[in-house]
Structure formats: structure tokens, C-alpha cells
Amino acid sequence: MVPLSWYLMLAAFLFSCGLYGALARRNAIAMLMGIELMLNAANINLVAFWRHGVGPMEDLTGQAFAVLIIGLAAAEAAVGLALIIAVYRERRTIDVDELDILSG
């Protein structure tokens, strides 16, 4: 049996990778990839706690919400990438350092 802490450590690593990617990358799509990594890490945690919780056969909340989050991630990626494409069409760049029209 794989102990719960192993899953949590893997999820922590994925989350930190995603955090670094979302904060440090210059390209908007790369930032979005970081966010996807973070969502995956959160999902691993949800499912791991479901499996090791009171009764995986009794309470399906963890798994149900993981599936809902997958659906949510799909919607988020669709809208996010559409925004990026729209911005690219206006400004011909998706470098977030150059997208500073709001900065005073």
C-alpha cells in the first residue's frame, strides 16, 4: 500500500512547480500551464484524501469534486486561451511584461 504522505509530497511538488511557472514565466500560455499544474496537484490531494478518508465506498465527495474540477479546468483553459488569442490579435504579443497598458 502506498502511504498517503507520498501522494501529498508528489502533489506538493507539482503545486510548487506550477506556482513557479505561473509566477516566473514571461509567456502568458506558459503561465496558464503552471496554473493547470496547480489544479492537477489540488486534484491529486482531493482524491488521495478521498481514498484514505472515512470510507471511500461511503463518501464519494472527493472524487466527485475532482471530476467537477476537471470540467472547470476545461472551461478555464478554453476562456483563458481565447483571451490570450484575443490579446495577441490586438497587441501582437503575449509577453506579460509588455502587456502593461493598465499600469500608470
Partner 1 sequence: MQLPLGVEVPIPTFEQFVFIQVALLTAVAALAVVMSRNLFHSALALTLTFFGVAGIYVFLEAEFLAVSQVLVYVGAIAMLIAFAIMLTRSMMYGRTSPLNNQWGKSSLFALLFFMGLLAFARATPWPSAGEPVVADEALIAELGREFVTTYVVAFEVLGLLLLLALVGAVMLARDR
Partner 2 sequence: MAKPLRFCETIDMQPREKTRLQRVQTFPIRNRYAILSREFVKFHTNGFSAMLSQYFFILVMSGLAVVLPVSAIVMGHFLGPRRPDEIKNDIYESGVETIGETWVQFRAQYYLIGLVFVVFDVEALFLFPIAVAYQQLEMFAVFATIFFVLLLVIGLLYDWRKGALEWQ
- Residues engaged in binding partner 2 (CB under 8 A): 1, 57-58, 67, 70-71, 74-75, 77-78, 81-82, 85, 89
| Site residue total, partner 1 (CB under 8 A) | 74
Sequence-distant contacts of 85-88: CB under 8 A, at least 24 apart: 87/28
Q: Does 21 bind partner 1 (CB under 8 A)?
A: yes
Q: State the nearest-atom distance from the C-beta of 104 to partner 1, in Å.
A: 19
What is the spatial distance between Cα 31 and Cα 52, in angstroms, rounded to a whole number?
32
Question: Which residues in 24-83 contact partner 1 (CB under 8 A)?
Answer: 24-27, 29-30, 32-34, 36-37, 40, 43-44, 47-48, 50-53, 55-57, 60, 63-68, 70-79, 81-83
Other Cβ atoms less than 10 A from the Cβ of 42: the count is 18
Cβ neighbours of residue 33 under 8 Å, at least 6 residues apart?
A: 21, 25
Q: Could you say which of partner 1, partner 2, none residue 95 binds, taking C-beta under 5 to 8 angstroms by partner kind?
A: partner 1
Radius of gyration over every alpha carbon of the chain, rounded to an integer in angstroms = 17
